[in-house]
Amino acid sequence: MKCILLYIMAKSRSFSYIIILYVLIVYITYYSFESDEYFEQSILTRTLETDGFCVLYNPFFAKDTEDFPCAELNDAVLDSLPPDYVFIDYIYKIHDVALSTFHRDVTSSKNIYKTQHTVYTLILYKYDGELLSVCPNSHATYPFTWSNIVNIMGKSGTCFLFDCDLLHAGCNNKCRMRNVIQYKLCHKDDLPLLVQLHGVRAEKTEKCEITVYNLFLRKLSYFFEMPINYLFYPIMTKRESPDTIVGKIQSVIPLQYYNNT
């Protein structure tokens, strides 16, 4: 009788493993699916309320304005937000390199900094082609993500305004020239909670490379976004000295692929 029970238990465990493996395969297969979307469709269908992002376009947005948004862009963005939102004194330029790993903007997250109102990122693209990959509505399911990846293409002058807790990444644009400027906006009452962003002038210029390793990291960052952006965010926000414990941990993490300086 004991042998029969042991045999049944062994079979049950094997069956459980098979079920778990099957569920895992279905999960990976389903969430590996990515779709493409052109910016004209996004402008008409995507909203901050439903998707966590909206798309604005005007070729004049990309004109040189000494780094700060031109008047047309300034007005268009503030008109898209509730009253009393302001631009934070923050500018982040990205050249050539694609920040192609999926992340939430942990340095300006409402959930992390406990702001009263949503904090937004604005990204201005000054080139044509593949722009931004987003997971629609992932801001509403923080810290989890249940939506598939949408890759959006557009023209120079395309802007994305999105909730900082939306999971996103730079599109793989086959290493063509990139020219991107990022801004931050918040409600005026939350400015004191985001003092670490005030006066930031950051710039990232790195050589773009397309490798199997990079593509693997990109997909891995999507599947493991919860532990990376929720559990380990303290070591993702700022690069520390290599002599410190945190710095030693960071040395084995490919931080250059994330939105940090």
Q: What is the pLDDT of residue 94?
A: 85
Q: At what angle do helices 212-223 and 2-31 cross, to 10 degrees?
A: 110
CATH fold of 35-229 reads: Jelly Rolls (2.60.120)
Categorise residue 230: left if φ over 0, alpha if ψ from -120 to 50, beta otherwise. Answer: alpha
Query: Is residue 178 scored above 70 in pLDDT?
Result: yes
Q: What is the pLDDT of residue 217?
A: 82
Phi, psi of 107 (to 5 degrees): -80, -5
Q: Give yes or no for a contact between 236 and 260, defined as CB atoms under 8 angstroms apart.
A: yes
Query: Is residue 8 scored above 90 in pLDDT?
Result: no
Tally of CB atoms within 10 A around 89:
14
Q: Which residues partner with 162 through β-bridges?
A: 53, 121
* C-alpha closest to that of 166 among 153, 152, 181, 149: 149
Distance CA 183, CA 55 (A): 15
Q: b/e string for 102-111 if b means 16 or more Cβ within 10 A?
A: bbbbbbbbbb
For 99, what's the count of Cα atoms within 13 Å in the CB-facing half-sphere? Answer: 27
Q: 105: which 2 tokens?
A: 């903007």
Pairing relation of β-strands 149-154 and 34-38? parallel
Model confidence at 5, in pLDDT bands (50, 70, 90)? very low
Please identify which residue in the block is written with the tokens 């670490």.
196
For residue 136, the SS3 value is coil
pLDDT (tens digit, 9 = 90+) per residue, 64-98? 666 788 889 999 999 999 999 999 999 999 887 66
Query: Is residue 253 scored above 60 in pLDDT?
Result: no
**Domain parsing of the chain, residue ranges:** 35-229
H-helix segments, 91-130 = 110-113
Distance CA 59, CA 193 (A): 34
Query: Is residue 114 scored above 80 in pLDDT?
Result: yes
Average pLDDT over residues 185-202: 94
Higher pLDDT, 156 or 224: 156
Average pLDDT over residues 191-200: 94
Please identify which residue in the block is written with the tokens 């939506």.
147
Amino acid at 215: L
Q: What is the pLDDT of residue 30?
A: 59
- What pTM did the predictor assign? 0.83
Higher pLDDT, 204 or 209: 204
Distance CA 21, CA 80 (A): 45
Please identify which residue in the block is written with the tokens 């309320």.
49
Q: What is the pLDDT of residue 190?
A: 97
